[in-house]
Structure 1
Amino acid sequence: MVRIGNVEIRPLGGFPGCLLMILASLVLSAILTIGLNLLVR
Structure 2
Amino acid sequence: MEDLQQFVEKIHDKQAKDEKNRRHQGKGTPGDKLPNKQHSTNK
TM-score after normalising by structure 1: 0.62
Paired residues, number: 27
Could you tell me the percent identity over the aligned residues? 4
Higher share in strand: 1
Flag structure 2 segments of 5+ consecutive residues without an equivalent. Answer: 27-32, 34-43
Flag structure 1 segments of 5+ consecutive residues without an equivalent. Answer: 1-14
RMSD after superposition: 0.7
TM-score after normalising by structure 2: 0.59
Task: Please identify runs of 4+ aligned residues in structure 1 that moved more than 6 A.
Answer: none
